[in-house]
Amino acid sequence: RAYENGLTTMTLEKARLDDKIQRYEAAKMIVNYALNVEHRTIAHNVACDVSLYSDFTTFDSEMRTYITKICDLGLMGRQSPKSQ
């Protein structure tokens, strides 16, 4: 059902069912759930400081986007109101 609902783009045949989930993988699934199932919108009045994650730059652009989105959704990380 996760694949059918757009929570993951990985098919069951390619899933690593016995592996531990990585933070960026969890971020992708949670973001997709929040946007596609709960129909949340990203709060543009919140800034997420992704520089706090020392490994952020090691991820590809897709994963950096999901990590930023989950932070901007207020679901992970440290947020502060954007200055006006």
Separation in Å, CA 22 to CA 33, 67, 84: 17, 12, 35
Give per-residue pLDDT as tens, 67-83.
888 888 878 765 555 54
pTM of the model as a whole: 0.67
Give per-residue pLDDT as tens, 14-42.
777 788 888 778 888 888 889 888 898 88
The identity of residue 19, as a single letter, is D
